[in-house]
Structure 1
Amino acid sequence: MRNNSLEQKFNKYIIAVSIVIPVVVAILFKIKLKNFGIDVAPLSFLPPIYATTNGLTAVLLVAAVVAIKNGNRKWHQYFMTTAIALSLAFLVMYVAYHMTSDSTVFGDSNHNGLLEESEKVSIGSLRIVYILILITHIILSIAIIPMVLITYVRAIGQDFVAHKKISKITFPIWLYVAVTGVIVYLMIAPYYSY
């Protein structure tokens, strides 16, 4: 039985959060604390931590599917709630890193912040692969926000038919975002200047 009133109650919040998060992240991504006279050491230790958070999210998503297929709703709920919490933790760490650190350029082996011609030649078409993975990761990470929230609201509203229907779309996209988050980190990690 569909709990339309609960879903309608949360719709305005889902829309607001789905717009506010990407906008705020985009704004904060451009803000560097040092430009405001705030002397904070770069949080260069965060990328491997938030990449691990993405990896754990992917594992939890798969574990949640296994749990529900085995009829274990309690563990499914636990895994999914933890996956949402890890995704939020990732977001906070990602923004904190970028507010305290300069962006890393893929292929910048001499760490001068520029991709020189010799570096372009050195990485070749791998840069195109990296950019394609990164772009799809970013676009889908924005698209997944309302999908996760709608899926979650349908579950807490005990509308399991609608929950199952949307989760078949939400799951592979969220899994892709989590896995490509790890791949992006592994590809760019050699170019971080610690």
Structure 2
Amino acid sequence: MIEVKNDRVAVPVIISLSIIIPIAVLILMYLPERYNIFGTQSGTFPLFHAILNGSTALFLMAGYFFMTIKEYKWHRNFMITAFLFSSVFLVSYVISKISNDPVPYGGEGVFRYVYFFILITHIMLSAIIVPLVLFTMYRGLTGQYDKHVKIARWTFPIWLYVAITGVLVYIFMWPYY
């Protein structure tokens, strides 16, 4: 009964956030005017974002490792930390979109195709990962382990891909910041 009662609140909140967050980021990308809240240079945020994404990937892999050796408290702690790093990333990313104009990719040839493939898959999966992470975290933290395991099988590889490709996007863009 507790699960159903909690789900009545949590599921609509997760679905709402999963719709609102990608739409807000999309809108912010097309702002007609930027408001550099912190007076930062355009390269400041991307480096910070790459560090957050790289850290998220490391915490995800550590969390996965601890799950495989059945150290579930360590697994939970590393996954919560990965979630916190991703959350800080999301807030910082929104602030960066408000603050700085987008920087175009200047590469040519095969690197341009590789970059855009990585970027496009990263963006598409970034929108998908929001509900997956939220549902996975919710199911794990509320002790709904069967449901947690079922969704985590999808969440983990997609989340790891998004974190790693976030770093790769930074590496490709580094010369242009």
TM-score (norm: length of structure 2):
0.91
Q: Retained in 2: the 8 A contact 1:7–1:154? A: no
The alignment of Structure 1 onto Structure 2 pairs a total of residues equal to 175
Contact 2:34 2:101 in 1 (8 A): no
Give 4+ residue runs of structure 1 displaced > 6 Å after superposition.
none
Instruction: State the alpha-carbon separation in 1 of the partners of residues 78 and 51 from structure 2.
Output: 16
Give the distance between the partners of 2:129 and 2:37, measured in 1 at CA: 35
Q: Secondary structure at the match of 1:33?
A: coil
Partner deviation per Cα, 1:8-29 (whole Å, 9 max, x = no partner): 4311001100001011111222
Task: Please give the TM-score of this superposition, normalised by the length of structure 1.
Answer: 0.83
Query: Is the Cα contact below 8 Å between 1:33 and 1:40 reproduced in 2?
Result: no
Question: Any residues of structure 2 matched to 1:31-180 within 5 Å, and which?
Answer: 31=31, 32-34=33-35, 41-44=39-42, 45-107=44-106, 123-180=108-165
CA contact (8 A) 1:61 1:83 kept: yes
Q: Which runs of 5+ in 2 are unaligned?
A: none
Q: Distance in 1 between matches of 2:123 and 2:86?
A: 14
**1:13-69 CA distances to partner (integer Å, 9 max, x unpaired)?**
0110000101111122223334xxx78634431211111100000000010011122
Query: Structure 2 counterpart of 1:66, which letter?
Result: F
Structure 1 vs Structure 2 CA RMSD: 2.0
Percentage of pairs with the same residue: 41
Alpha-carbon contact 1:61-1:79 (below 8 Å) kept = yes
Q: Distance in 2 between matches of 1:125 and 1:87?
A: 30
Unmatched 5+ stretches in structure 1: 109-122
How far apart are 1:184 and its partner, in Å?
0.5
Q: Is the 8 A contact 1:43 1:100 kept in 2?
A: no
